[in-house]
């Protein structure tokens, strides 16, 4: 299950990490995603790229700062320029918030290399 069951659309609509429910599940990109409402599920199904987290849902800071993948927690997140970024824990989230634009620029540049290691 993607993002430990968090509703990715809710980050954009509610500005919060909201746990979804199995009855509002949708399968995309080989993973099951849960949503808090049918409306959120349908919005995601119509345009999953608009809501899916960057860097495959891995820790955005770790991709940028270490060129590695770390897991994430639903409560450690930010939306920047219409994109969702997740992080490992509270401390990493705090570090991320010190220079999100810098981490995003670096993360975008190194993500193809990091993603290639996953194969």
Whether the pTM exceeds 0.85: the reply is yes
| pLDDT on residue 1 | 83
Question: In whole angstroms, what is the distance from residue 68 CA to residue 49 CA?
Answer: 22
Is the C-alpha dihedral spanning 79, 80, 84, 86 positive or negative?
negative
What's the mean pLDDT when you consider all of the chain?
A: 96
pLDDT digit string, tens, across residues 79-119: 999 999 999 999 999 999 999 999 999 999 999 999 999 87
| pLDDT on residue 114 | 97
Question: In whole angstroms, what is the distance from residue 44 CA to residue 30 CA?
Answer: 15
| pLDDT on residue 17 | 95
């Amino acid at each position: 299950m993607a993002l430990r069951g968090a509703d990715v659309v809710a980050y954009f609509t509610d500005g919060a990490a909201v746990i979804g429910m199995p009855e509002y599940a949708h399968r995309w990109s080989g993973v099951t995603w849960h949503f808090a409402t049918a409306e959120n599920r349908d919005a995601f199904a119509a345009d999953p790229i608009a809501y899916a987290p960057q860097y495959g849902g891995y820790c955005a800071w770790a991709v940028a700062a270490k060129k590695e993948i770390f897991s994430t927690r639903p409560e450690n997140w930010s939306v920047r320029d219409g994109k969702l970024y997740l992080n490992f824990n509270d401390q990493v989230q705090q570090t991320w918030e010190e220079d999100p634009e810098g981490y995003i620029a670096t993360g975008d540049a190194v993500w193809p290399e990091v993603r290639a290691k996953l194969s």
